[in-house]
Amino acid sequence: MVRMGRTPKGWAAGAAAAAAKSGQSKNKKKKSSSKLQVGRVSSNVIASVYAPLLTDMAIESSEKYAKELVDYEDELKSWSKDGCSLNEKEESCRNKPKAPSRPLFGKQSTIEVFKDMLRDTSRAVSNKEWRARVNAAKFERNLDEKYGYFRPFATHPTVDKYLKILQRKHALGAFSVIRPSSEEAPLGLHASIVVLFMMYRNKVRMDGVILAFLFLVVGLQPWALVCGVSLVTMRMNKRRMERPKGMKVNPEDLEVEPYYEIEDGDDDDEETARRKKLEVLKSPVGTPYEELKKDAKEEGYNVIIMGSGPDALFTGALLSRMGRKVLVLSQLDDASGCLTNRSAKGEWATVPFDVQDGKIGRIEFQQKLMAPALCTTMDCQGGIRFAPIGTEADGYAYDVITVPKMGRSTNNNPEYDEDGTVVAAANNGDVPFVLRAGGVSALAQDAHLFLGDGWYDTNPPTLDINTNNPNSNSSTATYLNVCNQLNMDGGSYYTQKLFTDRSKALFGPLGSTAGLGASVYGDASIRYASDFLNRIVPLNPHVRSLMAALGLRNENLSPRKCSMGVHVSNVNACTDNTGFCYPVGGPRALCHAFRNTIEKLGGKVVTGVQYNHFLFEQVDATTIRQPNNPNMDKVGPRCIGIQLDHPSNTSFNLTPLDSTIPGSIISHEGFIPTMKLIPHPIREVGGVPKGLSMLTERRPLLYITCALNGSASDFNLPAADWWRLPNCSLPKDSVDANGMVIQGDMGDDYFSDATIDQHEDATTITATPTTDSNDKHKENTPTTAEFNVDPNPQKPGHPSTRKQTYKKTKFHTGSSWIRISFPSAKDPNFHQRYPNKSTCVITIEADDDFVKCLDTTPKHYAIMPKVSKDIVLRLLDRVNKDLFNTFPQLTPKSIVNQELHGPFNVGLSHTPERYAAKGIKPTTTYPGLYMGGKELTLDSFSGGMVGGWMAANAVMGYDLVDYVWLDKNVSKDLERYLPCPDLSEDGFENGDVAVPLLDLKKQEEDVKVDEEEQLAEGDTSKEK
């Protein structure tokens, strides 16, 4: 063990030897390379190193060349001695010696020139001025690249002084984009998160939420936010003003003349000009296919629209304005959707019957929506005007609904107050409830008067359901206001159908701030209407039936099966104070205006065509790349045209607008008929829209058109439609032992419950009708009949064939669903076109004699190929009984001609599954194939127009940024680029409308005179 402080003897000797060795190593001289220039006097590398080396290489190559020349001369002499110079064709004389190639330095003179060049280069390098010149040139080049045209300003001494000051401050952190850590934040992290959450819950716009996040959490400086917002705003404004692809640049190319062109002549007076306009309205809309010229059949179209009615033509007019060449194909003889009685004689054969429910609610919104498609050089609405349905005398009544047992009670005598005013009317039967203009106030007052629904104080009116107004106790007003609040984000719900799944996934976390995510309307649309009715109107079953009738009149569907979304939209339309309107001239006038826009811009409207199948690109199914995510839609081949069902095998192929804008087909025929037109092998690749297999088709409708010999005033025909709605029949409420009200289901007397018995090889569904001993309408109980349904009709005798017992649907007088309308009474111009004539349209559901429900997915109906004449006559007899009982002023002698049309498929049923299906949107799984029309929204005039607008936007390819941030869509772009029409008073008064307004004013004056006379007669009788 070694002790500290003492040194062994051996250690001293070792230390001395190590010191001597280290001294020797320090004195030892290191070897260096001969080419190393460190420490030498000359620093000119070219003169000291490269010049001698390159000179030696040049001399060496010259000497080598001289030696090769000597050898060459010797070989040449020996070769010439052999006599080969005279006879070079012999084989032994062919190997002539080759002269050596001359090097770069083959002569002494070139070596001397090379030495001079090295000497000059060495002299230039040894001079230090060249470096300054190179640096100066580099500095000038950097200034040009950095400032460009602003170099004189940036290099000014004063400007340069302040720039250096700013650079110095920036280096010290004065202009940092991020807030310095030393500076205190406006809010803490937790408080900032709370603020952002509150902004999200209050549905603040997404750009505001992003700015708050950048300022509070990220810590951007205010000046940086201002600069960023300015740059983004400039970029967005530039994109907002960009013209859509394919849209014509010249504004004059977007203008169209009115469709009722009148030739100016000296002999034409005002009456002649008016008659010429009316003659245009008498002609059907569109060109029959058989009359179409061959050139028109072979033309190329960018967009093909399948369908009839205002919604299909509205879509075509919008796309024509956007620069597309549109072809509209209609299966009817009249593209407006009107029918005619072909068996009628004379002028009756050309009289149109408006079989659709053409009432227009929220007319201000609809006029604004249709203006870009209707606008002409003389009028913003294309000469189309809309008249309110009804008169001031009836409160502008637009509908009269009769619900079985609603309003019925044991009170056979009316009740009066002290002043003699009727407090409660005598209601010993089904009370027809009149729907009139006036909004919530009118409906609540009428419900109080006829159904005993509390009271409603209109001074001041209560529109907020959260406000406790002691002067109001109306469940009707409460339900109407709830529906109006649910409808506030209905527009954003339908707009979401235009967004792709990728956009929704990208902006999903931001929810409603970007117009995405769940909406109140969307949540209500996937729930049953009966849930809301029972909760909001729990005590008065009569009011509950009335609210159910307001929500759904166009389909015979019970509230316990109907979506609340369609209820919300229909009720919202009924709460408009202005009521409903109807186009002057009928739907033909409106569709003529749309057709005029399409054809004046290069398109065509063709009628009387039948579809066979769609045409698709010939591609291998294995080459189509399907998405890996099972939640994403499949991808099928591109649709490129349509084949018609015609002996000539005519087909219309799409023509792309350019290499980046392919053609498109828009179907307004419905999802199920459209999917049937896709060939089966193609449908196996692309599939069908998501959720379609879980939906149900509505029962087809029959239209009965009656030609009445007399005007509307002769028969005193109402403009309001009359409905009987057994699906909303009075529910049978009961009280349990605890005194709690148990709500019954509406429509029990019409839709009876079914009991299902399951067997080993069959399933039998037996309808069990319910009857009421106090009900006098014994015909309300439907009859039952049996028929077998084979699940696989292609394989007869299948062992799994099921035997089902269904309730067979039959029309019964006094109980079945029906709508009776008089279109001629709604149109104030009808009597000018067709004097002493009136039209009546009766709409009913098709009996099982006309259609058959197929056990398929989706569930749909097949139309029977042939129906016997006896069945048709018996059905007409039952329908006429309802007509004459409801309108006693009509008799069998009043009807000149009557025809039954149909059955017609009318789309999907309004169930919650329809609104929950993700595939019910304008785009399909097949590129180039789009959907439009009422099935995207709901069955109404407004629903069809919105569905057509959605289809036009989908074809134009607007994305989420355009809708949410830029407010850019088809309507907005057309408003920017369409020229303003000439609205001078002279042109307006000279008749730039389809129907002269003077006739309407005169008619209103006549109505006021009649009312005054009736009031005067009433006062006289009262005095007597």
Contact call for residues 497 and 554 (beta carbons, < 8 A)? no
Give 982's pLDDT tier (boundaries 50, 70, 90).
Answer: low
Contact call for residues 840 and 822 (beta carbons, < 8 A)? yes
What does DSSP assign to residue 46? I
Distance CA 865, CA 903 (A): 11
Work out the mean pLDDT of the chain and round it to a whole number.
78
Q: How far is CA 966 from CA 47, 62, 281, 963, in A?
A: 72, 79, 40, 6
pLDDT given at position 706: 94
Q: How many CB atoms lie within 10 A of CB 211?
A: 15
Contact call for residues 334 and 285 (beta carbons, < 8 A)? yes
The region that residue 691 occupies, defined by phi over 0 for left and psi between -120 and 50 for alpha, beta otherwise, is left
Residue 755 pLDDT > 60: no
Contact call for residues 462 and 469 (beta carbons, < 8 A)? yes
Q: Which of 77-91, 666-680, 1006-1020 has the lowest mean pLDDT?
A: 1006-1020
**What residue has token string 């669903």?**
817
Distance CA 334, CA 349 (A): 13
- Helix ranges (H only) for 925-984 are 941-956, 960-964, 970-977
- 890-925 pLDDT tens trace: 999 999 999 999 899 999 999 999 999 989 999 999
CA-wise closest residue to 993 among 580, 583, 601: 583
Tokens of residue 166, six digits: 């700013």
- 20-60 pLDDT tens trace: 555 554 455 455 455 444 444 455 777 788 888 888 888 88
Looking only at the bridges linking them, the beta strands covering 433-435 and 399-402 are antiparallel
- Write down the pTM of the prediction: 0.74
Give phi and psi for 326, each to the nearest 5.
-110, 140
Looking only at the bridges linking them, the beta strands covering 929-931 and 721-724 are unpaired
pLDDT given at position 102: 84
Tokens of residue 51, six digits: 């010049």
| Chain centroid, CA 246 distance in Å | 19
Positions of E strands within 813-921: 818-821, 838-845, 851-854, 860-863, 895-904
Contact call for residues 820 and 721 (beta carbons, < 8 A)? yes
What does DSSP assign to residue 661? B
Looking only at the bridges linking them, the beta strands covering 818-821 and 838-845 are antiparallel
pLDDT given at position 1003: 47
Give 622's pLDDT tier (boundaries 50, 70, 90).
Answer: low
pLDDT given at position 564: 93
Residue 466 pLDDT > 50: no
Give Cβ neighbours of residue 702 (< 8 Å, ≥ 6 apart). 843, 844, 845, 846, 850, 875, 900, 901, 902, 903, 904
